[in-house]
Structure 1
Amino acid sequence: MALSISQVTIYVEDQQRAVDFWTAKVGFEVTSDQPYGESRWIEVAPPGGGVHLVIHQADPKWPALVKDMPNYVLFQADDIVKTHEELVGRGVEFTQAPSHEPWGWTAVFKDDDGNLFHLGQR
């Protein structure tokens, strides 16, 4: 049996703000944007394909999302230093600049909702 991951859901307070972040700042493309109940079903993905991020409207009745703890969603780049510079230039905020650890290169950035994500190097 061969399994793969096709989607990862990210809960946000403002879907349009999140779409703007992932497209304008990170460089992903919208692959789906359609009505979904009282909100929208939105998927974004890196150019050329890959795992899709589902930008899901968080329900205000849900408990607050854990802040200051990275989701273990790992994005990978061929050159983490260059990618860091490009993303910072587009307005992406990093809470941890690229550093070389015993296991490899790592960095942490956050989206406009405060969700934290890892960036590694292939």
Structure 2
Amino acid sequence: MPLSVSQVTLYVDDQQRAVDFWTGKMGFTVTTDMPYGDDRWIEVEPPDGGARLVLIKADPDWPAPVTGMPHYVLFQADDIVRTHEELVARGVEFVHEPQHQPWGWSAVFKDDEGHQFHLGQR
């Protein structure tokens, strides 16, 4: 039975700031933007397709996420060094520059909400 991941939910404080980051800096495309209660249901898709990020407004009563730790969402690029250079030029902040590890290449970047993500190489 083949399975795939279609969406990953990312809770954000400011939905428009999150949209601006994922589209303007990361090159994603908004595929869905519609009312969702008092907020919006927003899906963004990476340039090469695949699983979409759902940018949901975080409830202020929820516990704060652990800061300083990457989320376990791994983005992959064909050439991590070139991708890192392009993202830095677009204003993406990297917490850890690309480094070759025993398991392969790895880097960590932050979005404008402060979430951290891994970047690997295929």
For the criterion TM > 0.5, the same-fold answer is yes
* Residue aligning to 2:51: 51
- Report the CA distance between 1:48 and its aligned residue: 3.9
Task: Name segments (4+ residues, structure 1) moved above 4 Å.
Answer: none
- The CA distance in 2 between the partners of 1:29 and 1:109, in whole Å, is 19
- 1:120 and 1:48, CA in 2 relative to 1: closer, same or farther beyond 3 A? closer
Work out whether 1:92 is the aligned partner of 2:89.
Answer: no
Work out whether 1:78 is the aligned partner of 2:90.
Answer: no
What TM-score, normalized by structure 1, do the two folds share?
0.98
> Quick one: which amino acid aligns to residue 40 of structure 1?
R
Work out whether 1:60 is the aligned partner of 2:63.
Answer: no
Number of matched pairs: 122
- The CA distance in 2 between the partners of 1:116 and 1:27, in whole Å, is 17
* Residue aligning to 1:121: 121
- Report the CA distance between 1:65 and its aligned residue: 1.2
Q: What runs of 5+ residues in structure 1 fail to find an aligned partner?
A: none
* Residue aligning to 1:15: 15
Q: What's the secondary structure of 2:70's corresponding residue?
A: coil
* Residue aligning to 2:40: 40
Aligned-residue sequence identity (percent) comes to 72
Work out whether 1:101 is the aligned partner of 2:77.
Answer: no
- The CA distance in 2 between the partners of 1:31 and 1:84, in whole Å, is 25
What is the RMSD computed on CA atoms of the aligned residues? 0.7
- The CA distance in 2 between the partners of 1:47 and 1:113, in whole Å, is 21
Q: What's the secondary structure of 1:117's corresponding residue?
A: strand
- Report the CA distance between 1:47 and its aligned residue: 2.2
> Quick one: which amino acid aligns to residue 35 of structure 2?
P
